[in-house]
Copies of this chain bind each other. A is one copy, B any other.
Amino acid sequence: MAYTVKQLADLAGVSVRTLHYYDEIGLLMPDAYGENGYRYYDEDALLRLQQILFFRELDFRLDEIKAIIDRPDFDVLRALQTHRVTLEEKAARLTGLMQTVDKTILRLKGELGMSDKELFEGFDEEKQKQYAEEARRRYGSAEVDDSMKRWGNYSSAQKQQIVAEGEQIRRDLAASMGKGYDNPAVQQIVARWHQHLRYFYEPSVERLRGLGQLYVDDPDFRANYAKLDPKLPEFFRDAITFYCTDKT
């Protein structure tokens, strides 16, 4: 199914002018030009445009984006995973700014001694750029970044967010408990759960085809994850019950 410029523009929430420009600089070329000169985009363009938007969101310049996603070894899946971490970095930065807001409010009320320097805490994008620098090297390359996936490597803000995500998934699953394990909505949640687990436990996530299996099999995992989220045992108990009663 081919999209015209406006169709794609509306779908992706960008302007027609932007698509023209991306074509002009060779960043996103249409699948084909009609004999009238019209641009027609195919499915591949969707994913490519999505990548472009993600990178743009993370403050990459368009020529950088082009260089990255044109590399023959560019790996979309890996890129997406890196996007996620980088988005979390960005969110954590915003959290830092919120704290600066709070502290400034208290300073203005005279309730808090606050150094001049602290007034500007969180604005700096140094870490951000540092990360991007790494990312520029890493995107697309087959180089593995397992080190980032160890719990100890996350910042506390990231940890909070990750735990919150876990809780959300748990709530969602709880809300879908009645629907039966083979219900597509439930399957989606389970998939999100598998995805989520990658934060903690990479190597044998593939073993997680059966929900909770790892929790049952691996006392080490059980202990570690339970430390992060005290309600997790409950969750697993429920989930396993859920899984078993439905499967048998």
Contact = CB atoms under 8 A, between A and B. Distances in A.
Interface in A81-123: 81, 83-84, 87-88, 90-91, 94-95, 97-98, 101-102, 104-106, 108-109, 111-113, 116-117, 119-120, 123
Given A11-B120, A168-B160, A195 B106 contact: yes
A13 interface: yes
A105 B109 CA distance: 47
Given A120-B12, A191-B112, A84 B106 contact: no
A84 B98 contact: yes
Interface stretch (A24-32, A49-57, A173-181, A235-243): A49-57
Contacts of A116: 11, 43, 46
B50 A77 contact: no
B123 A101 contact: no
B191 A12 contact: no
Given A57-B123, A164-B160, A167-B160, A195 B94 contact: no
Contacts of A120: 11-13, 49-50, 53
Nearest to A111: B191
Given A11-B117, A84-B98, A160-B164, 8 more contacts: A13-B123, A50-B104, A53-B123, A57-B123, A80-B105, A94-B94, A106-B195, A160-B168
